[in-house]
Amino acid sequence: MKGTVLLPQALHARPANLVVRLASQQPSPIRLHVGGRSADARKILEVLALGAQKGDVLEIASEGAGSDEAVSAIAELVSRNFDADLVPDRGSPAVEGIAIGAALLLRHDGLEAEAPPARGPEEEHARLVRAQARAAEELRVLMEGLAPEERVLFEPEEAILREVAAAAAERTLAGETSEQAVLATTQDARTDLLLDARARLMDGLGHGDADGQALAQAGELGNEIVVVTDRLTPSLVARLPRQVVGIVAAEDDLPAGAARTSHAAILARGRELPLAIVGRHVADAIDAGDLVVVDTTHDPARVWCSPGETLVADARARRRRRSANSVGLAPAIAAAFARLGTAFLVNVGSVHDRVPEGVAGVGLLRTELLFAGRASAPAEADQVAAILAVARAARGAEVTVRLWDAGGDKPLPWLPSCHASERGVALLLAHPEVLRAQLAAVARAAQRAKVRVLVPMVRSAADIDAVRRCLESLGPSAAGLRVGAMIETPGAVEDAASVARASDFVSIGTNDLASLVLGTGRADATQALDGRVLRLIRRVVELSHAQGRGVTVCGEVAADPLGARVMVGLGVDGLSVAPSRLHGTVFVLEGVSIEDCRAVAVSVEARGRPEGSSS
């Protein structure tokens, strides 16, 4: 793909930087050509070396998947005189929504462990004891002011705080300062409650409550504030005043991907505060009082700092439409189901996720996310309680409980993997005691709620048979549970007929399927719109239907505007998406007929990855 455009100004440092940033976000490499000179659009020194001047003809060239989109994006940037609004900073959407407000900065100079001062071990130990007492009191006061559903999130921190303080106290007696001891004890953070305890103890050691001081002055910035922080903790979210409408947080010390399921994100989600996780350089570039627009309705999330009036007006309009759409969601779901025959479900990863009215149920309960950050497998009673909490939120609709999905880049401490190939059901079968305990919990929950079992990363019908045998060993009631297969690999697609025959229902995990077919990561949902992937999805649907089995798509492509239409056109029986993205999926199908969806599916499947697939 090639395109040409006249340069409205010389390609000096600022416009060159915008070109490089935008080119780096595209799915295919881009080369720029001016007067016989060429440059990689992702390298600013090469772009500057072009020496391009106002009025020069800039040729933009790209090849491969997404090349049309890439060339068009650079051409639009140049033709609009390098409008910075076209190149927002990107991040990870942890809580979906649109926020517009003045920036309130909550930044923390990293406290390094200081060299031991003159005071001795006994005095350091006493300092830590006092800090722990103060931290415990502050936590108690905070919890007393929270609603019950928020208070329960902080209950584990009481025990965490005690254990951290005890372990740090031993280190002070060995000669470390209290600060050194706290930092060393909390450096392996698997939960943001540990980060919260660390911050609380540091405050107790006399390092001040900068967040509290800044939040007390929030009203001076107006009625709409976007908090920008480099230390996102549950306590920070719990203390935010009503003027805060969104959060931009720099990547923290949690493992990759943990921000979406952190306690801070759960609190933000319950308060309907859009939350974007960005690189530290993005957060650092925002100044106090800057107007910030945060849009986490797409992945990646987009953040604009000091945008133009047109972009702000458009963001406000989109926010109003989202609010209006949410009001009529249940009737819209019913109308779409009657017209298309497609059920709408939600993916849930927390007992605090809301299940919107009108949905057919929970299409995917990510059990591994319910207990994120735990070092050991949860007790059976805890698992039962969590499943029933989700069932209550679903108001009696069916809950599809996916068994622990771990392995590879999704580790769980209580499911260690010996081989890189051990993932999903393969890893569960390698730990039969863990599998049996989880199935027992699901069977107990099934006595009080409508639930079914979903087996992750199924390889063949033998995996389903093995899970059924484990259920049968638990007794007649467990043996009667419906068992489904999650098809996420090309190998499982090849064996789809026998897998469907052995199962009661089928779910397709498009994220992993697309990743394995194309040899890429799971981040881009629209990878599943590649023709090679769509042909595999069509095969699964056809073979499953031949066995009388329903098929649900629970990958991110179901929430993509074009992807939803394509999946319906391929004949899937249900679309399961994140609760916050449900309204977008439903309303993009408003007024669309099944014939329209089939035509779109055929067109996209025939030409491969479509131009503008994420729009």
Contacts of 150 (CB under 8 A, 6+ apart): 238, 267, 270
For residue 307, CA distances in Å to 8, 86, 447 come to 21, 10, 54
Of 537, 463, 534, which is closest to residue 498 (Cα–Cα)?
463
Instruction: Determine the Cα–Cα distance for residues 472 and 295; give it in Å rounded to an integer.
Output: 48
Assess whether the previous peptide bond of 300 is cis (omega < 30° from 0). Answer: yes
600 token code pair:
């779109």
Of 451, 519, 521, which is closest to residue 483 (Cα–Cα)?
451
Q: Active-site residue among 12, 108, 419, 431?
A: 12
Distance spanning both ends of the chain, measured CA to CA: 20
Q: Is 114 helix (H, G, I), strand (E, B) or coil?
A: coil
Instruction: Determine the Cα–Cα distance for residues 299 and 515; give it in Å rounded to an integer.
Output: 16
Q: Residue 153 carries which side chain, given as an amino acid letter?
A: L
For residue 373, the surrounding DSSP H or E stretch is none
Q: Which residue has the tokens 């079968």?
A: 429
Of 569, 571, 566, 572, which is closest to residue 554 (Cα–Cα)?
572
* CB contact at 8 A, 330 and 357: yes
Burial of 141 per CB tally in 10 Å (0-12, 13-18, 19+): exposed
Instruction: Determine the Cα–Cα distance for residues 310 and 327; give it in Å rounded to an integer.
Output: 27
Q: Which residue has the tokens 């929030």?
A: 218
For residue 16, the surrounding DSSP H or E stretch is helix 13-24
Tell me, yes or no, if 12 is annotated catalytic. Answer: yes
Instruction: Determine the Cα–Cα distance for residues 591 and 577; give it in Å rounded to an integer.
Output: 20
Q: Which residue has the tokens 């025939």?
A: 606
519 token code pair:
């040899």
Of 302, 211, 195, which is closest to residue 255 (Cα–Cα)?
195
The residues that bridge with 303 in the sheet, in sequence order, are: 89, 294
DSSP class per residue in 257-320: TGGGGSHHHHHHHHTT--EEEE-HHHHHTPPTT-EEEEE-SSSSEEEEES--HHHHHHHHHHHH
Catalytic residues: 12
